[in-house]
């Protein structure tokens, strides 16, 4: 049987496409960074304003990426505590933003993300302490951050106190 040049090109193209499809998962497995190495920590909490029943707080989270590849985050779900009192669950979300608009956590680098939100504080003493001297308050955050790379993502739990 004689194989002409057109048929040889067609067979070669089909073989190349099949080989790419077969090897693609292996390529991704070899080039994917270990997203478990990325850390999330509460850096600081600042008081924006105080009202009769609550306050507007701004939380700052630092995401450290010790890998060589760039990652990003699409959301951080957390519960904020002030002196052991829960101020409720909160979310910093970038779900509706395309990947190129989300905070880039470059390789061997850190990025700070922040969000302002209103909290209702029933404890008058705690509200007074937060408004008078927020630096004396012991802040704690516990939650889960979704860390993403090009084709993979993980849910990274975190908890820290400042």
User: What is the per-residue pLDDT across 97-151, written as a single tens digit (0 to 9) for each?
Assistant: 887 788 889 989 999 999 998 888 877 788 888 888 878 889 999 999 999 887 7
| 31 phi-psi bin (left φ>0, alpha ψ -120 to 50, beta other) | alpha
Per-residue pLDDT reduced to its tens digit, 38-68: 999 999 998 888 877 788 889 999 999 998 8
CA–CA dist 67, 148 (Å, integer)? 13
pTM of the predicted protein model: 0.77
Number of H helices, E strands in the chain: 2, 8
pLDDT at 157 over 80: yes
d(CA 51, CA 127): 9
Domain 35-161 part of CATH 2.60.40.1820: yes
């Amino acid at each position: 049987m004689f194989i002409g040049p057109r048929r040889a090109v067609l067979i070669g193209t089909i073989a190349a496409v099949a080989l790419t499809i077969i090897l693609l998962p292996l390529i991704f497995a070899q080039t994917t960074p270990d997203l478990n190495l990325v850390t999330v920590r509460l850096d600081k909490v600042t008081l924006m304003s105080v009202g009769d029943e609550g306050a507007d707080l701004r939380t700052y989270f630092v995401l450290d990426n010790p890998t060589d590849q760039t990652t990003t985050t699409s959301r951080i779900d957390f519960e904020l505590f002030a002196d052991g009192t829960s101020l409720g669950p909160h979310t910093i979300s970038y779900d509706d933003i395309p990947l190129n608009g989300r905070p880039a956590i470059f390789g061997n680098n850190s990025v700070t993300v922040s969000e302002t939100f209103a909290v209702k504080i029933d404890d008058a003493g705690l509200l007074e302490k937060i408004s008078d001297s927020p630096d004396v308050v012991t802040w704690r955050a516990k939650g889960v951050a979704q860390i993403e790379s090009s084709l993979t993502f993980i849910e990274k739990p975190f908890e820290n106190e400042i």
